[in-house]
Amino acid sequence: METEGYIKPMGQPVTFERISALIEEQELTKEELLTCLRQMEEIRAFEDNIADLLGRAVLKGASHLYAGEEAVAVGTISALRDDDLVTSTHRGHGHAHAHGDRHAGTDEARQEHLNKMMAEVLGKSGGYCKGKGGSMHIADVEHGNLGATGIVGGNLPVAVGAALAQKIMKTDRVVVCFFGDGASNTGNFHESVNMASLWQLPIVFVVENNLYGMSAPFSNVSRLPNVADRAAAYGIPGVIVDGMDVLEVRKVAAEAIKRARGGEGPTLIEAKTYRWYGHSHSDPRVYRTRDEEADWKKHDPITVMREELKTVKMLSDQQRDAIEQAVEQKIEKAMEFAMASPEPDSSEVFTDVFAPTRFTQTDYNKDKELRENIQSGKIDRQITYAQALQEAMREEMLHDSRVFLLGEDIGLYGGAYGATRDLFKEFGTWRVLDTPISEATIGGAAVGAAMAGMRPVAEIMYVDFTPLIIDQVANVGAKNRYMFGGKTSVPLVIRSEGGAGRAIAAHHSQSLESLWTHFPGIHVAMPSTAYDAKGLLKAAIRDDNPVMFIEHKMLYKEKGPVPNEEYIIPFGVADIKRPGKDVTLVTYSRMVLRSLEAAANLEKDGLDVEVIDLRTLAPLDIDTIIESIKKTGRLVCVSEAYENTSFINEIMVQINERAFDYLDTPMIRVGALNVPVPRAENLEDIAIPNTQRIMEACRKAVK
């Protein structure tokens, strides 16, 4: 019985004429052909070995095996140049091996490559990523493998960003993005292909259609029988190829790569293929028949290529046997290396989360000096918060040609309060890049561009929309450095505006910063003044980590003193905006202004409140807070975020753990009510902390 919608193998006849024509057309040497065969056999042996380890419970965790699909990885990657780039998927061992083997110039280096792959799958310190990535996250960024992802479709926006970087840098490098048929039904697919098509990026999308997304037949999840048919909607070529024939795959891939390298834009290649094993080790494959599997195995890509090479008299039985024997020995050596490789040292659990800081003692000293000058009135140049942001971006774009801006409506019309309009006029389209409304791909493109050598500043209109980029920025951008063993950096900035005050209701008025402080690997900055906005944004752009930079919509027109001279504000340094001795009031962003107003009013009653502006939430300057509490004995925390999940709760926990003995009274928090931000202005004012509520909290702390 056949599965409903079952697609039979394409299976073209192996004739001397067809094979000779394919070889001659691609100008392939015998050595290149035997290399392709060897690579496919190595991938198969590698996967069969892992299947055995899983079956014996020697290997733990999830491994998604590539056996059966070898021709797609080998055929495509063999058509690339050494400096081209690839992104991969959870089923990525084949891509990683074909790519790594290509960059290994000697037999010794090829063995080392296999050793590192096997060790990584087993979570050992000798792996490509020091055991921190494992089966689904092998990467070699230095040589152009930007890594695999366990998120279906998660690598598509990253590949677009890497290709965008090539376009901006005016290289002729090409990016190949591998993904499965399941990913073709995600929003990332449509956003990514559209963006790549719009900008004619040098990228080749390769969908490995193995007919099943986990257990769902492709025919059950798509009205169109072919993913390639969707290319027409984006004005790019869509090509179907027999994914079981490495020579056919290579021909189609070479044409697409040539087209991309020549500036003609993307191609969508659909390789019809089949996976020998289930989706994962626990998959019993009850959704497909054994007859179907047997039918596809008649078209085993390794068998097909052997027959092709024999037909044109380029492979003897002795050569075939020698390849098999050599492959077996390589896998044995790789296993010996992996088993002998030690587990990562326990200290490694803390390494590689963040790239090393660029901040120097000079930066810290200068920030302190400038703050003192502002407080004493020595700095008299007054500009708005929005102008400060614009100055920061302009200076960094002049300072470093790798800095570019991207986002919705940031070009001619200027983004939030026109902060980018003049930059668009000065730097042009490819430095200030208007994007489609595609938040996920804006975030993912920033990740990919950063990994490919650029320093993107991406704008998401409202912080309320940033959950749409969590997969890309939090699950990929923030984790890649750690998962890849510290062997990559992701220097990007996400600018967004948050907070209430404009009576635009719940979808455009939230304060979601605590969401972003949840993820290790991301810095979070929230400036309250023009001085802080400029210095922190410049620091964010120079930082080698992802930075969530959240501006408050009600601060753009606020003016403040900003020096003419060059400066940056190092992360993790809170600012005492108002010294005091009776109550420590900790806050950030717009609530700094309300807290200062409350402190001024309370001073009339004889209450001296110290107002601390965190400036950055991650890293957090907890020491400044503790030192203040030692003096005041009281703590009030104020935030515009929802009370039940606000970041101030984390501050209070840390104070409870580290400074409880210095407290004379219970800590008090002032947050937004746990309701969606209302449209009605009177209700909005009740929902969000106001000056009166802050004053009441300080009085309560003293009592």
Tokens found for residue 399: 């300072």
**Kind and range of the H or E element at 575?**
strand 575-578
State the Cα–Cα distance between residues 302 and 395, nearest whole angstrom. Answer: 56
Residue 281: CB partners within 8 Å, gap ≥ 6? 51, 54, 55, 62, 63
Catalytic site residue 508? yes
- Is residue 215 helix, strand or coil? coil
Catalytic site residue 439? yes
Residue 525: CB partners within 8 Å, gap ≥ 6? 536, 537, 539, 540, 547, 548, 549, 550, 571, 615, 616, 617
Query: Which one from 508, 513, 551, 640 is the annotated catalytic residue?
Result: 508
Sheet holding 493-498, edge to edge: 432-434, 403-407, 455-462, 493-498, 547-552, 523-525, 616-618
State the Cα–Cα distance between residues 585 and 599, nearest whole angstrom. Answer: 9
Residues in the chain: 703
- Is residue 590 helix, strand or coil? coil
State the Cα–Cα distance between residues 245 and 630, nearest whole angstrom. Answer: 72
**Distance separating the N- and C-terminal Cα atoms of the chain:** 80
Query: Which one from 42, 270, 439, 650 is the annotated catalytic residue?
Result: 439
Tokens found for residue 260: 């991309």
State the Cα–Cα distance between residues 212 and 222, nearest whole angstrom. Answer: 11
With tokens 């969530």, the residue in question is: 548
Tokens found for residue 413: 């019309």
Cβ atoms of residues 442 and 493 within 8 Å? no
Cβ atoms of residues 53 and 227 within 8 Å? no
Tokens found for residue 154: 């998660």
Query: Among candidates 217, 178, 239, 182, which has minimal Cα distance to 10?
Result: 239
Residue 380: CB partners within 8 Å, gap ≥ 6? 561
Cβ atoms of residues 456 and 404 within 8 Å? yes
State the Cα–Cα distance between residues 663 and 630, nearest whole angstrom. Answer: 8
Residue 567: half-sphere exposure toward Cβ, Cα within 13 Å: 22
- Is residue 171 helix, strand or coil? coil
Cβ atoms of residues 518 and 466 within 8 Å? no
The DSSP string of 336-358 is HHHHHSPPPPGGGGGTTSSPPP-
Handedness of CA 125, 130, 134, 135 (dihedral sign): negative
Q: Around Cβ 487, how many Cβ atoms within 10 Å? A: 18
**Kind and range of the H or E element at 397?**
helix 385-399
Tokens found for residue 429: 């389209």
State the Cα–Cα distance between residues 441 and 447, nearest whole angstrom. Answer: 9
Give the active site residues: 439, 508
